[in-house]
């Protein structure tokens, strides 16, 4: 199954099955195959006003080829359950299943559409096993398709999964390794009674040197050990930045050390040995070269796989707040200069020509804060663009946009926001964040930067999060989907951990136009199993999203999250 990872629908967690039972879609062939479709929607017990099957007497199911508006092979049948058989679908083409519920007139014939839904794009090729396909239905009054996600195995609590890490850690950094496991290193063991601003670096204490591995195959965590015992970094560090090098090794840069001060040191992890350099069994091995400046809350981006790799390091809390440098494992820093604005807690997005051949190859550095002590910094309303070919930043910064201001887009300040790149649409989403240095004013902004046109897209004029949130995560998924999770949200003027997920998704409207939308809303939320903010997110090899670390509770009385959480979008 290609296209959206499987024949299952795209998302998971909230909806209940309309009818129970196990489904199997099957068949293979040169030109056609059959498919079982499951229709479902917001649980009637929780959201009676959103029940898509009220007055549903008939169901009309069609398919269309992705990117086309024409509906094909439509069939109308009495609505008896949520299970619909669709025979004779073509193989080798990306298809979307479209379903509508209709009421009946006085003669018992189909009449008005009362609800509708459509699946994510899926493709079946000869010889592949086809799984169940779900279509998430919403009443016509919602005036939108909902984001489709699979009901999953409700008997096991749904496809969301909570698992416990080996140690509580906040401010850890994570990288997926070549074998699909996820390396999570550092962080802090505890947090102090909160100052005026929970995000003050002095708020965290007891930095850690240990690392652990998450295995997506069985959902377990284990401390990294070698034949000689526990594997630890050469220095304790929290709020560091990490990248996987072309060799498969992982470089971990800077962070806050055991004294709460930023460092310029670098650790390199060898997953084969496993261990950190230098290798005690190799007298010729030497420690990796340091950065020029000390950094924490910075970004690290692999900008070239030539040689042993080149890494762009930008900003950070420390002496590198207003600088950038390019580092290699062999030679250390090979280029460095000044940023136009000091910044930390910014985002860095690599616009790669491998993913977006029409775009210029750049790293987009967006927002952040800097220029003062924590809590008295200036929140940035600009982006700086690093041209990888020229090995330098563009001469002029770009204003960040806001879609909550008149005559938008207009410059807007953002820190502790999130960014995700959707190459097929040339869209870089910049979502949420705070507009103030004390992190009390979360925003609903979702700005859309067009990576080929290099300007803000018209989406920015109307596109908003359903709930204002800062310190969230954004994860790009197959199918031009972006998963926005957690953060700090306001409830009755009180900042507390968000307990929901929002999804940016696409659908074709009745005119055949591609519409970018966000959902679901508070009326039928997709809950997080563990509310959290300032956490990490990794898209793992099995297509699921691992959320780890972070804080929970009220911003004035936060606690560390001990559990990791796995979200299944299949």
Nearest to 9 by CA among 23, 20, 29, 19: 23
Lowest-pLDDT range, 15-29, 139-153, 215-229?
A: 15-29
Q: How confident is the model at residue 86 (pLDDT cuts 50, 70, 90)?
A: confident
For the segment 542-546, the average pLDDT, to the nearest whole number, is 86
SS3 of residue 434 by DSSP? strand
Q: How many CB atoms lie within 10 A of CB 498?
A: 30
Q: How many CB atoms lie within 10 A of CB 49?
A: 11
For the cut 50, the answer to whether the pLDDT of residue 432 exceeds it is yes
Domain ranges of the chain: 11-155, 160-338, 490-570
Residue for token pair 């000390």: 294
What is the tens place of the pLDDT at every residue in 219-275? 889 999 998 899 999 999 999 999 999 999 999 999 999 888 999 999 999 999 999
For the segment 184-201, the average pLDDT, to the nearest whole number, is 86
Give CATH for domain 160-338: 2.120.10.80
Lowest-pLDDT range, 30-39, 96-105, 512-521?
A: 30-39
- Report the topology of domain 11-155: Immunoglobulin-like (2.60.40)
Mean pLDDT: which of 67-81, 102-116, 392-406 is highest? 102-116
What is the tens place of the pLDDT at every residue in 288-313? 999 999 999 999 999 999 999 999 99
Q: How far is CA 418 from CA 95, 233, 445, in A?
A: 31, 28, 11
| CA 549 from centroid of its chain's CA atoms | 15
Nearest to 191 by CA among 465, 561, 522: 561
For the cut 50, the answer to whether the pLDDT of residue 13 exceeds it is no
Residue 519: per-residue pLDDT: 79
Nearest to 374 by CA among 161, 563, 201: 201
For the cut 60, the answer to whether the pLDDT of residue 127 exceeds it is no
DSSP codes joined into one string, 358-415: TS--EEEEE--EESSSTTSPEEP-EEEEEETTTTEE-SS-EEPP-SSSTTSS-----B
- Which strands form 220-223's sheet, in the order they lie side by side? 173-176, 182-185, 211-215, 220-223
Residue 20: per-residue pLDDT: 25
For the cut 70, the answer to whether the pLDDT of residue 407 exceeds it is no
For the cut 90, the answer to whether the pLDDT of residue 95 exceeds it is no
Residue 285: per-residue pLDDT: 92
Q: Which residues contact 192 (CB under 8 A, 6 or more apart)?
A: 202, 203, 204, 205
For the cut 50, the answer to whether the pLDDT of residue 8 exceeds it is no
For the segment 59-69, the average pLDDT, to the nearest whole number, is 85
What is the tens place of the pLDDT at every residue in 325-355? 999 999 999 999 999 999 999 999 999 999 9
Do β-strands 266-270 and 275-276 pair in parallel, antiparallel, or remain unpaired? antiparallel
Q: Which residue has the higher pLDDT, 11 or 272?
A: 272
Residue 395: per-residue pLDDT: 95
For the cut 50, the answer to whether the pLDDT of residue 542 exceeds it is yes
For the cut 50, the answer to whether the pLDDT of residue 159 exceeds it is no
| Average pLDDT along the chain | 84
pLDDT above 70: percentage of residues in the chain: 85
Q: Which residue has the higher pLDDT, 194 or 324?
A: 324
SS3 of residue 342 by DSSP? coil
Query: Rounded to an integer, what distance in angstroms lies between the CA atom of residue 106 and that of residue 553?
Result: 54
């Amino acid at each position: 199954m290609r296209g959206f990872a499987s024949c299952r629908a795209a998302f998971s967690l909230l909806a209940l099955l309309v009818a129970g039972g196990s489904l199997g879609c099957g068949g293979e062939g040169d030109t056609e195959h059959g498919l079982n479709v499951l229709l479902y929607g917001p649980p009637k017990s929780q959201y009676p006003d959103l029940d898509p099957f009220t007055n549903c007497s008939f169901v009309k199911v069609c398919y269309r080829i992705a990117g086309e508006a024409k509906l094909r092979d439509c069939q109308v049948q009495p609505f008896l359950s949520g299970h619909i058989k669709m025979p004779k679908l073509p193989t080798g083409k990306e298809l979307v299943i479209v379903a509508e519920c209709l009421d009946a007139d006085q003669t018992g014939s189909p009449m008005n559409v009362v609800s509708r839904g459509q699946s994510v794009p899926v493709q079946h090729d000869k010889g592949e096993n086809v799984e169940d396909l779900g279509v998430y239905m919403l009443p016509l009054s919602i005036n939108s398709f909902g984001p489709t996600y699979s009901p999953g195995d409700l008997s096991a609590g749904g496809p969301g999964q909570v698992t416990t890490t080996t140690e509580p850690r906040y401010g850890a950094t994570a990288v997926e390794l070549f074998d699909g496991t996820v390396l999570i290193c550092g962080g802090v063991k505890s947090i102090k009674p909160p100052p005026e601003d929970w995000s003050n670096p002095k708020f965290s204490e007891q930095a850690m040197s240990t690392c652990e591995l998450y295995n997506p195959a069985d959902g377990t965590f284990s401390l990294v050990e070698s034949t000689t015992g526990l594997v630890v970094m050469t220095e304790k560090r929290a709020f560091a930045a990490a990248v996987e090098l072309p060799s498969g090794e992982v470089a971990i840069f800077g962070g806050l050390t055991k004294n709460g001060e930023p460092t310029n040191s670098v650790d390199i992890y060898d997953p084969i040995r496993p261990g950190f350099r230098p290798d005690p069994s190799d007298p010729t091995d030497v420690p990796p070269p340091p950065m020029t400046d000390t950094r924490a809350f910075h970004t690290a981006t692999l900008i070239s796989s030539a040689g042993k790799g080149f890494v762009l390091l930008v900003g950070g809390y420390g002496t590198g707040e207003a600088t950038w440098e390019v580092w290699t494992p062999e030679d250390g820093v090979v280029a460095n200069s000044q940023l136009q604005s000091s910044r930390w807690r910014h985002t860095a997005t690599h616009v790669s020509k491998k993913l977006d051949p029409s775009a210029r190859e750049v790293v987009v550095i967006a927002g952040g804060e800097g220029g003062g002590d924590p809590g008295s910094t200036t929140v940035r309303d600009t982006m700086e663009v690093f041209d990888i070919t020229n090995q330098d930043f563009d001469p002029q910064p770009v204003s960040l946009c806001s879609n909550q201001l008149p005559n938008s887009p207009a410059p807007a300040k953002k820190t502790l926001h999130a960014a995700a790149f959707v190459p097929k649409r040339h869209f870089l989403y910049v979502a949420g964040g705070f507009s103030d240095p004390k992190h009390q004013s979360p925003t609903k902004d979702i700005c859309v930067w067009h990576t080929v046109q290099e300007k803000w897209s018209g989406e920015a004029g109307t596109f908003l999060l359903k709930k204002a949130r800062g310190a969230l995560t954004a994860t790009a998924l197959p199918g031009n989907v972006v998963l926005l999770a957690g953060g700090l949200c306001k409830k009755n003027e009180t900042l507390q951990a968000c307990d929901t997920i929002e999804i940016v998704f696409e659908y074709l409207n009745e005119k055949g136009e591609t519409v970018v939308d966000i959902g679901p809303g508070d009326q039928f939320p997709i809950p997080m199993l563990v509310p959290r903010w300032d956490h990490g997110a990794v898209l793992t090899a099995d297509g699921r999203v691992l959320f780890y670390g972070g804080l929970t509770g009220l911003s004035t009385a936060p606690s560390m999250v001990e559990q990791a959480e796995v979200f299944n979008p299949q």
